[in-house]
C-alpha cells in the first residue's frame, strides 16, 4: 500500500473532528492539505484509525463529516470509470435506485394524506413496481460484498468496506420493514399504513443517498486507484456470474480489455484415499454434484475452497479465496464466527448448527471442525443445505 506524506496529518484531522473540534476551524487550518487529498488517502486513513482502536461504528457515523471536509476536491473529479466498467455499472445503479427512492417517497406522501384505500389504486400500482425493483437490487450489494470488497482487501483497504457493509445491513433492514408493511397492508388501518409507509420511505431515501455519496466519492475512486488494470476483467466476469438488477444500465457491460487466456487445461492426476482412489476430474465432478454447498476455511481462518454446484444457497466467488472468513460476514455476525472458530480450535466443540428461513425456504447450516488423525485442527467445513422439500417427506419410497 502506497504511503502518502500527509497521512498522519490527515488522520489527525479526522481524529479532531471525531473529538468534537469545530469543523470550519479544522478545515481552515488544513485547507491546503484537504485540496490534495485523494479518495484512497481517506480510505487508508480510516483503515489505520480502526487498526489503532477507533470503533467501526464511529467511522460509519462520521463518514459524512469526512466527505464534507474534502468536498471541494472530490467534486472536481471527472467521470472515474468508462461506460461498461464494473464501477460505472455500480454508479449507474446508484442513480436508478435514488430515482426509485424518490418515487417511493412521492407515492408514500400521497398515501399519507389520502382518504382511504379506494383512493390510492394508482399509488399501489407504482408501489408494486418500486417494491419489485427494490427486491431485485440485492444483486447490487452482493457484487460489492463478494467481489469488489475482497479485491480492496487484497490491496490493504479492509476496514472501509466493512463500514459500507454495515450500511448495506441498515438498508436491508429498512427494505424488510418496507416489504413487511406493504405486503401485510390489508391487515392494517389505512392511516397507520400511510404514516408508517411515509416514515420508512423517508428513512430509506436518506440512508441510500448518504451511502451512495460515500461510495461514489470515496470507495469507488479508491477502488480505481488501487485495483490493478489487469484485475478488472476478472471482476467483470464475477459480476456477470452474480448477475445484475432489472434496472441495471444496459450499454456494453464489458468495456474492460480482456486478458489473453491460456488454453484450458484438463484436470489430471488422481488421489489415493484409504477407502479408494478418485481421479482429480472425478473429485471435481463429485463436489459439483453434491446437493449441498461446502466451504472450507483453514486453520488460519482463510477461505480456501468452496463447491460450485448443487446447493447455491449463499453467494460464493473466486475473489473470496484467501480472504479472512471474518471479512466474508457482516460486522454484526463476526463475533459469532469467532466464537465458533475459537471453540473448534480449543476442542470445546466439533459441530455447530443453525437453521434459518430465507425467501420462503428452510436453510440448514452446519459447521464441522476438521481435524487430522492426530486430532490437530486443520480448519472448519461449512455445509449448507436447503431442506424445505426434505421436511415434507412422509412414509416410504422403495420403487423407482
Residue 336 resides in a domain = yes
Tell me, yes or no, whether 199 and 133 share the same domain: yes
CA separation, residue 57 to residues 122, 157, 165, 233, 300 (Å): 41, 17, 11, 33, 26
Q: Which three cell numbers stand for residue 299?
A: 486453520
CB 378 within 8 A of CB 370: yes
Tell me, yes or no, whether 278 and 353 share the same domain: yes
Tell me, yes or no, whether 39 and 168 share the same domain: no
Tell me, yes or no, whether 106 and 67 share the same domain: no
Identify the pLDDT of residue 29: 72
- Among 211, 156, 174, 172, residue whose Cα is nearest residue 40: 156
State the pLDDT confidence band at 7, using cuts at 50, 70 and 90.
low
The Cβ-side half-sphere exposure at 396, using a 13 Å CA radius, reads 2
Q: How far is CA 211 from the centre of its chain?
A: 13
Tell me, yes or no, whether 229 and 275 share the same domain: no
pTM (2 decimals)?
0.83
Measure the CA angle with vertex 306, ends 336 and 337; round to 5°: 5
Mean pLDDT of all residues in 216-222:
90
Q: Which three cell numbers stand for residue 376?
A: 490437530
Residues facing residue 272 across a β-bridge: 277
Measured on CA atoms in the order 385, 389, 394, 396, is the torsion positive or negative?
A: negative
Tell me, yes or no, whether 223 and 110 share the same domain: yes
Residue 288 resides in a domain = yes
Say which residue, 295 or 12, is predicted with more confidence: 295
* Among 17, 42, 75, residue at a domain's last position: 75
Residue 301 to residue 225: CA distance in whole angstroms: 28
Identify the pLDDT of residue 31: 66
11-21 residue pLDDT tens: 787 788 778 88
Residue 261 resides in a domain = no
CA separation, residue 334 to residues 331, 337, 347, 367, 375 (Å): 5, 5, 20, 15, 26
Residue 322's domain comprises 270-392
Tell me, yes or no, whether 52 and 27 share the same domain: yes
Q: Any idea what DSSP says for residue 148?
A: I
Identify the pLDDT of residue 76: 57
Using DSSP bridges, classify how beta strands 361-371 and 276-279 pair: parallel, antiparallel or unpaired.
unpaired
129-147 residue pLDDT tens: 999 999 999 999 999 999 9
Identify the pLDDT of residue 395: 94
Identify the pLDDT of residue 35: 65
Residue 80 resides in a domain = no
CATH of the domain at 104: 1.20.120.520
Residue 87 to residue 217: CA distance in whole angstroms: 12
Give yes or no for residue 389 having a pLDDT over 90. yes
Residue 104 resides in a domain = yes
165-195 residue pLDDT tens: 999 999 999 999 999 999 999 889 999 999 9
226-249 residue pLDDT tens: 999 999 999 999 999 999 999 998
Residue 380 to residue 338: CA distance in whole angstroms: 12
Give residues with Cβ within 8 angstroms of 91, minimum separation 6: 80, 81, 216, 220
Residue 398 resides in a domain = no
310-332 residue pLDDT tens: 567 888 899 999 999 999 999 99
The count of structural domains within the chain is: 3
Q: Which residue has the cell 480505481?
A: 224
- The whole-chain average pLDDT of the chain stands at 88
Residue 200 resides in a domain = yes
Q: Which residue has the cell 464534507?
A: 68
Tell me, yes or no, whether 20 and 55 share the same domain: yes
Give residues with Cβ within 8 angstroms of 262, minimum separation 6: none
The strand ranges marked E within the chain are: 270-273, 276-279, 293-298, 303-306, 351-358, 361-371, 377-386
State the pLDDT confidence band at 1, using cuts at 50, 70 and 90.
very low
Give residues with Cβ within 8 angstroms of 148, minimum separation 6: 86, 90, 161, 223, 235
Residue 334 resides in a domain = yes
Tell me, yes or no, whether 226 and 179 share the same domain: yes
SS3 88: helix
332-357 residue pLDDT tens: 999 999 999 999 999 999 999 999 99
Tell me, yes or no, whether 222 and 112 share the same domain: yes
Tell me, yes or no, whether 291 and 234 share the same domain: no
Give yes or no for residue 271 having a pLDDT over 50. yes
Residue 269 to residue 381: CA distance in whole angstroms: 24
Q: Any idea what DSSP says for residue 185?
A: G
Number of neighbours of residue 376 by Cβ within 10 angstroms: 8
Q: Which three cell numbers stand for residue 77?
A: 473529479
Identify the pLDDT of residue 366: 97
Residues facing residue 385 across a β-bridge: 364
Give residues with Cβ within 8 angstroms of 325, minimum separation 6: 297, 301, 302, 303, 337, 341, 380
Identify the pLDDT of residue 34: 62
Give residues with Cβ within 8 angstroms of 323, minimum separation 6: 150, 153, 302, 303
Residue 359 to residue 148: CA distance in whole angstroms: 25
Question: Helix 232-242 and helix 86-113: axis angle, to 10°?
Answer: 40
* Among 38, 56, 75, residue at a domain's last position: 75
Identify the pLDDT of residue 310: 59
Tell me, yes or no, whether 197 and 331 share the same domain: no
Amino acid at each position: 500500500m502506497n504511503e502518502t506524506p500527509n497521512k498522519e496529518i490527515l488522520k489527525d484531522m479526522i481524529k479532531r473532528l471525531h473529538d468534537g473540534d469545530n469543523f470550519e476551524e479544522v478545515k481552515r487550518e488544513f485547507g491546503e492539505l484537504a485540496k490534495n487529498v485523494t479518495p484512497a488517502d481517506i480510505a487508508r486513513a480510516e483503515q489505520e484509525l480502526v487498526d489503532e482502536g477507533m470503533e467501526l461504528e464511529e467511522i460509519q457515523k462520521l463518514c459524512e463529516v469526512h466527505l464534507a471536509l474534502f468536498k471541494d476536491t472530490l467534486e472536481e473529479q471527472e467521470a472515474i470509470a468508462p461506460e461498461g466498467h464494473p464501477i460505472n455499472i455500480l454508479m449507474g445503479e446508484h442513480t436508478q435506485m435514488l430515482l426509485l427512492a424518490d418515487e417511493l417517497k412521492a407515492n408514500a406522501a400521497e398515501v399519507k394524506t389520502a382518504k382511504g384505500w379506494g383512493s390510492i389504486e394508482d399509488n399501489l400500482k407504482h408501489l408494486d413496481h418500486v417494491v419489485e425493483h427494490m427486491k431485485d437490487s440485492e444483486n447490487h450489494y452482493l457484487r460489492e460484498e463478494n467481489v469488489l470488497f475482497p479485491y480492496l482487501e487484497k490491496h490493504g483497504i479492509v476496514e472501509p468496506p466493512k463500514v459500507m457493509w454495515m450500511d448495506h445491513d441498515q438498508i436491508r433492514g429498512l427494505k424488510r420493514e418496507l416489504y413487511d408493511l406493504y405486503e401485510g397492508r390489508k391487515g392494517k388501518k389505512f392511516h397507520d399504513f400511510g404514516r408508517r409507509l411515509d416514515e420508512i420511505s423517508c428513512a430509506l431515501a436518506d440512508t441510500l443517498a448518504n451511502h451512495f455519496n460515500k461510495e461514489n466519492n470515496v470507495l469507488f475512486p479508491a477502488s480505481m486507484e488501487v485495483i490493478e488494470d489487469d484485475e478488472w476483467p476478472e471482476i467483470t466476469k464475477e459480476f456477470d456470474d452474480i448477475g445484475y438488477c432489472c434496472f441495471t444500465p444496459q450499454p456494453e457491460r464489458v468495456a474492460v480489455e480482456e486478458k489473453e487466456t491460456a488454453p484450458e487445461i484438463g484436470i489430471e492426476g488422481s488421489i489415493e484415499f484409504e477407502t479408494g482412489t478418485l481421479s482429480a476430474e472425478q473429485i471435481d465432478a463429485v463436489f459439483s454434484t453434491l446437493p449441498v454447498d461446502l466451504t472450507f476455511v483453514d486453520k488460519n481462518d482463510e477461505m480456501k475452497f468452496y463447491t460450485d454446484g448443487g446447493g447455491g444457497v449463499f453467494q460464493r466467488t473466486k475473489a473470496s479465496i484467501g480472504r479472512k472468513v471474518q471479512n466474508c460476514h457482516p460486522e454484526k455476525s463476526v463475533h459469532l464466527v469467532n466464537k465458533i472458530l475459537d471453540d473448534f480450535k480449543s476442542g470445546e466443540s466439533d459441530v455447530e448448527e443453525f437453521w434459518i428461513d430465507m425467501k420462503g425456504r428452510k436453510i440448514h447450516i452446519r459447521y464441522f471442525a476438521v481435524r487430522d488423525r492426530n486430532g490437530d485442527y486443520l480448519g472448519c467445513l461449512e455445509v449448507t443445505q436447503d431442506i424445505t422439500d426434505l421436511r415434507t417427506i412422509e412414509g416410504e419410497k422403495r420403487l423407482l
